[in-house]
Structure 1
Amino acid sequence: MTQQPSSPPLVVGIGGTIGGVSSTERALRIALDAAEREGFATRMFGGADMARLPLYDPRATSRTEDEQAFVAAVRGASAVIIASPGYHGSISGVVKNALDLLEETARDERPYLADLPVGLIATAYGWQATGSTIAALRSIVHALRGWPTPFAAAINTQITKFDDEGGASDPAVYDQLCLIGRQVARFAPLVAPR
């Protein structure tokens, strides 16, 4: 009997802003590319994807195709990377709304982000919001039963610029984002298959 080749494990990226490709999305793409180099498939839900998600209503009796696709991707993930801009000292509304939608998994065998390694990235125009945004993301991931990776990237976009080719003006920031991708890839095999 010939075995079918199995598909590579999946890392889901969640992050960005509404209104075009942002620094947050570019940072997330660098981290996801690093996970791909480790042999993982990736799926990114950027700002445009999150903008299509209606405000989460826990009483809704049906979900849109976009909501269903998002929840299905996270259900099938072996790891997640969340990137948020720092808005007024915390995560953006579109990122929070997407994470709220994971309530749809509450009754799953593996609810929320349970046992998944989760990489974290915060971008802000200045240093103050990067730290508080990372802290908020860590708290949310813990509440969703996930495991934040040991390293998180806090990026001051006043200093670091991203380009359309997948690069960053600061090589240290680029290396930090790659480290996040490698960490989620290395910790993902510890997750028991469902």
Structure 2
Amino acid sequence: MEWLKNNKKNLLLVGIDGCGGAGKSTLADHILSIATEGIVIHMDDFYLPSHERKEMPDIGGHFDWKRVLHQVIKPLSERSPAEYQRYDWDHDELAEWHHVSASGVVVVEGCYATRDDLRPYYDYTIWVDCPREVRLKRGLERDGQEALPFWLDWMEQEDRYIEIQHPRDQVDFIIKGTRNN
């Protein structure tokens, strides 16, 4: 990751995308271990509360990409601090606010993080590639077998995103999510 080590900017905004279970969070944590200052912002914090979800979601599943754009990505891309309200998965509602300074490495990681509407704002974009069966296995190991219907629906929404927006073909780097290092 020479691009990270050679960074001379005060703020570096990085988007990490890929399907569920591909290894995006692991990569984000690795990037922060190299950076002298930084934070990871998870797209999971921008899930829509159930009362706001549509039966057939737009591209990007039930993630509020407009909120991540306006609360985080746009301000940071303008080198201004950002504040966002986290989605609480247990209570299905927006929870506490988080402050993000406009310095260091800010990684936005998660499914749909580099969708067409968000990609132009990043300094670097990364796609984490991983076979479907590995991702499903990882997801079920983490969430339990009872989550299989959720994962199958989730994967169907991801397939639609990939088919329409081709995010893998439009990023700066592709990383294999099956590597152990």
TM-score (norm 2): 0.38
Query: Greater strand percent: which structure?
Result: 2
Structure with bigger RCO (C-alpha 8 Å, 6+ apart)? 2
With normalisation by structure 1, the TM-score equals: 0.36
